Amino acid sequence: ETGVTQTPRHLVMGMTNKKSLKCEQHLGHNAMYWYKQSAKKPLELMFVYNFKEQTENNSVPSRFSPECPNSSHLFLHLHTLQPEDSALYLCASSPRTGDNSPLHFGNGTRLTVT
Amino acid sequence: GENVEQHPSTLSVQEGDSAVIKCTYSDSASNYFPWYKQELGKGPQLIIDIRSNVGEKKDQRIAVTLNKTAKHFSLHITETQPEDSAVYFCAAYLPRGSNSGYALNFGKGTSLLVTP
């Protein structure tokens, strides 16, 4: 058990669908992150939240919409995605942002856009 | 160029041999360097990390070395076993730009295969 739980593990959606990814951390951390992992590319940072406040949006298209209702939960709302958005979406947490501490990752949601 | 470069992209070794993965980073102010292991179907898991006030750190069969002058750091796995087969990522905290603090930047990963 990693301490960071992501659901669902797998998701297949059409380009016109709306779906949400969920992340929950049980580590008492205050920072949460969304990363996109595609084949043969470095992990791409998408969004950062610190104490529920969004501190970074890494030029992510508006079809991805994050939500952080509290320090333990993070959502990624998806709508009108493109096939190139198919990837593994990883959630991570850390005590706080920018303090040189490691990130703790969940096992990801494998997203396929058809 | 990339902020964190990692080599090689693939590595195949015989069980019992050693494996070495190397990374370089761009900003001399970076002072924290974690290594992650990602097995199939799982997220990256921290296996070892090093801070800039030390040059080497060891934990059983894995060790990490850091050369701040040259801005490179390496992961060493000795007496490799088939269960070491996975993708390994290096990372470094790098500045995000003016007043944006630091964020963890990852290398592209090394796919390690240990054959019996």
Q: How far apart are CA A13 and CA A77, in angstroms?
A: 12
Alpha helices in chain A (DSSP H): none
Tell which of B102, B104, B110, B111 to mutate to test the A interface (max A CBs under 10 Å). Answer: B104
Give chain A positions within 8 Å (CB) of B40.
none
State the best of B106, B108, B110, B111 to mutate against chain A, taking most chain A CBs within 10 Å: B106
CA angle A54-B3-B86, nearest 5°?
90
- The pLDDT of A36-55, averaged and rounded, is 89
- Of the candidates A83, A77, A81, A71, which has an alpha carbon nearest to the alpha carbon of residue A32? A71
pLDDT value of position A57: 84
In this structure, the number of other CB atoms found within 10 A of the CB of residue A105 comes to 25
Q: Is B51 on the interface with A (CB under 8 A)?
A: yes
The pLDDT score that the predictor gives to residue A76 is 98
| pLDDT tens-digit map of B43-78 | 999 999 999 888 999 999 999 999 999 999 999 999
Structure token pair of residue B8: 């090689």
Chain A with chain B: Cβ pairs closer than 8 A: 54
Of A41, A56, A105, Cβ closest to residue B108:
A41
pLDDT in tens, A82-112: 999 999 999 999 998 877 889 999 999 999 9
Cβ of A56 within 8 Å of Cβ of B103? The answer is yes
Residue A22: per-residue pLDDT: 98
Average pLDDT, chain B: 92
Q: Determine, for residues B43 and A41 on separate chains, whether the beta-carbon distance falls below 8 Å.
A: no
Q: Grade residue B2 by pLDDT with cuts at 50, 70 and 90.
A: low
Task: Please state, as a whole number, how many other Cβ atoms lie within 10 Å of the Cβ of residue B12.
Answer: 13
pLDDT at A34 over 70: yes
Nearest CA in chain A to B92: A100
pLDDT band at A42 (very low <50, low <70, confident <90, very high): confident
Q: Which two tokens stand for residue B88?
A: 């390994």
Task: Identify which has the larger pLDDT, B55 or B95.
Answer: B55
pLDDT at B29 over 90: no
